Amino acid sequence: MRVRVEQTALPGIGVRHDLMTESGRRLGVVSHRNGRRDLVLYDPDDPDSCQHDIPLTDDEAEALADILGASLMLGQLSGLREQAAGLLTEQIVMPAGSKYVNRRLGDTKARTRTSASIVAVLRQGEVNVSPDPTFRFEAGDVIVVVGTRQGLDGVTAILAETDPDG
């Protein structure tokens, strides 16, 4: 199902984005000119009347976007996993002591060494989809990997490697 998002200018306030859920509920986000955001849930009996208005701080809005974005992406990957026998997805946290912290994805040679693919990196509320070989890892990155069990274990082992000189 394709979801239609309606954008409405609110003179002197900002802009509102609304959508109708499959269950028939209307919700929206009001982005104020001063940077404030409100999550709005409309009354099911009167779709023009606001039933709940939840103000969000920048951190809360970012956390909500992260939760929704990451869960959507992982849900899509999970659906793909069900279609392909033996294909798994896993989230691996980049250890602080890894020799690949502050190094490029290409330096790991993960795909060549394991046949597993790093398909996304989640970092501080941002989803980096299909990072290229020049992408630099940071400690605590959540790395989304697709592959066989053996491949996923291989990527986990690679990322756990420490620098003996470090």
* Segments making up each domain of the chain, as ranges: 3-82, 85-158
Residue 61 has pLDDT above 90, yes or no: no
Residue 79 has pLDDT above 70, yes or no: no
At 32-57, the pLDDT tens digits run: 888 889 999 998 888 778 889 999 98
108-111 contacts, C-beta under 8 A, 24 or more apart:
108/155, 108/158, 108/159, 110/145, 110/154, 110/155, 110/158
d(CA 157, CA 10): 52
As a whole number of angstroms, the longest Cα–Cα distance in the chain is: 66
Q: Output phi, psi for 52, to 5 deg.
A: -140, 140
Who contacts 139 (Cβ-Cβ below 8 Å, separation ≥6)? 94, 95, 96, 98, 101
Highest mean pLDDT (candidates 20-24, 97-101, 123-127): 97-101
At 87-107, the pLDDT tens digits run: 778 888 999 999 999 999 999
Highest mean pLDDT (candidates 47-51, 57-61, 148-152): 148-152
Domain 85-158 class in CATH: alpha beta
CA atoms within 13 A on the CB side of 150: 4
Tell me if the pTM is above 0.95: no
